[in-house]
């Protein structure tokens, strides 16, 4: 009998596979699933085995290989030249051809200012910005996007997912995937405020990878779970990454993301996934 393959995809940072904080997530997944993982350096993937299920933990960063991905990726590579930057989610999913179940775990900004909260989204939107103004000067000036870019965001590409982790009776959670983290470090504060005010009544969280993962795997009618932990809040710039008094919710992230993996794994086994 062929082994069932359960893919856990981690998104959020270019250094995720090599960052101590994300390694805590991986050790948390290992402890929760009672699985020992080995790291495949060539594929940048952790692989473990539980009964007849092969579990693979892989990584992505950003949705697309666009100018934002290249610009910020080059910044990171200049600081850590020996590290490999994960593929954007659009490319990663095309390399996964044998998944029987998929779980995406990521980080997000919350429109409701709930930092350290685990969200289980049901509705996915794509809102990528034009990337033609990305350069050192505009990044330093905070003008890689402007108010016109915010105004041009349209919520007309909705994908609905029966999130494998969600309670069917819970309120639906809406997420938008963008190709730029909209924080004061990258853009002007008034642009951040415009982004928040434009979407706050319709969107719960914003992140950078989930849309293409859901879009791709939904075609195969396999179990798909999505759990995203809020790393910062958009209502107050002081609660945003790299700004003000923001404190990264490491404790919550390291507890809740592995717990999401445990919940999905147990549900898969209960429903006969490994038989």
Give the chain's domains with CATH numbers: 4-125+158-173+204-270 (3.40.50)
pLDDT at residue 157, rounded to an integer: 93
pLDDT digits 0-9 by tens, 54-108 = 999 999 999 999 999 999 999 989 988 888 899 999 999 999 999 999 999 999 9
pLDDT at residue 167, rounded to an integer: 78
Residue 247 backbone class (left: φ over 0; alpha: ψ -120 to 50; beta: rest): beta
Asked whether the predicted pLDDT for residue 244 surpasses 80, the reply is no
pLDDT at residue 100, rounded to an integer: 97
pLDDT digits 0-9 by tens, 137-163 = 999 999 999 999 999 998 889 999 999
Average pLDDT of the chain is 91
pLDDT at residue 228, rounded to an integer: 97
pLDDT at residue 13, rounded to an integer: 77
274 close to 267: Cβ distance less than 8 angstroms: no
pLDDT at residue 274, rounded to an integer: 64
**% of the chain exceeding 90 in pLDDT:** 71
Round to whole Å and give the CA distance between 15 and 70: 14
DSSP for 152-192 reads T------EE---TTS-TTSPP-EEEE-SS--STTTB-HHHH
Asked whether the predicted pLDDT for residue 201 surpasses 80, the reply is yes
| Contacts for 245 with CB less than 8 Å, ≥ 6 apart | 238, 239
244 close to 189: Cβ distance less than 8 angstroms: no
Asked whether the predicted pLDDT for residue 129 surpasses 60, the reply is yes
125 close to 177: Cβ distance less than 8 angstroms: yes
pLDDT digits 0-9 by tens, 168-185 = 767 899 999 999 999 888
Asked whether the predicted pLDDT for residue 41 surpasses 60, the reply is yes
Asked whether the predicted pLDDT for residue 235 surpasses 90, the reply is no
Q: What distances in angstroms separate CA 173 from CA 84, 123, 186, one per listed residue?
A: 33, 6, 26
Q: How confident is the model at residue 245 (pLDDT cuts 50, 70, 90)?
A: low
pLDDT at residue 152, rounded to an integer: 94
Asked whether the predicted pLDDT for residue 17 surpasses 90, the reply is no
Q: What distances in angstroms separate CA 267 from CA 33, 76, 190, one per listed residue?
A: 12, 38, 44
Stretch (H or E) spanning 20: helix 20-33
Round to whole Å and give the CA distance between 216 and 65: 17
pLDDT at residue 138, rounded to an integer: 93
Round to whole Å and give the CA distance between 232 and 183: 10
Stretch (H or E) spanning 56: strand 53-59
Considering the entire predicted model, what is its pTM? 0.95
pLDDT at residue 183, rounded to an integer: 87
């Amino acid at each position: 009998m062929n082994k069932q393959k359960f893919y856990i995809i981690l998104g959020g940072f270019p250094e995720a596979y090599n960052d101590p904080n994300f390694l805590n997530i991986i050790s948390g997944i290992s402890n929760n699933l009672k699985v020992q993982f080995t790291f495949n350096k060539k594929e940048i993937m952790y692989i473990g085995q539980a009964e007849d299920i092969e579990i693979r933990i892989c990584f992505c960063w950003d949705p697309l290989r666009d100018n934002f991905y290249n610009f910020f990726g080059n910044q990171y590579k200049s600081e850590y030249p020996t590290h490999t930057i994960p593929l954007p989610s659009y490319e990663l999913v095309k390399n996964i051809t044998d998944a029987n179940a998929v779980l995406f775990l990521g980080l997000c900004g919350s429109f409701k200012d709930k930092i350290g909260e685990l969200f289980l989204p049901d509705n996915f939107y794509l809102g990528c910005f034009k990337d033609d103004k990305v350069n050192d000067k505009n990044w330093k000036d905070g003008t890689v996007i402007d108010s016109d870019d915010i105004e041009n965001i349209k919520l007309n590409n909705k994908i609905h997912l029966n999130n494998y982790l969600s309670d069917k009776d819970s309120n639906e959670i809406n997420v938008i995937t963008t190709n730029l983290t909209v924080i004061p470090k990258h853009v002007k504060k008034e642009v951040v405020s415009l982004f928040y005010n434009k979407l706050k009544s319709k969107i719960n969280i914003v992140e950078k990878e989930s849309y293409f993962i859901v879009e791709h795997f939904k075609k195969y009618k396999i179990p798909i779970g999505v759990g995203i932990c809020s790393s910062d809040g958009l209502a107050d710039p002081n609660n945003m990454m790299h700004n003000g008094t923001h404190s990264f919710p490491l404790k919550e992230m390291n507890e809740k993301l592995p717990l999401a993996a445990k919940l999905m794994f147990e549900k898969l086994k209960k429903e006969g996934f490994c038989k």
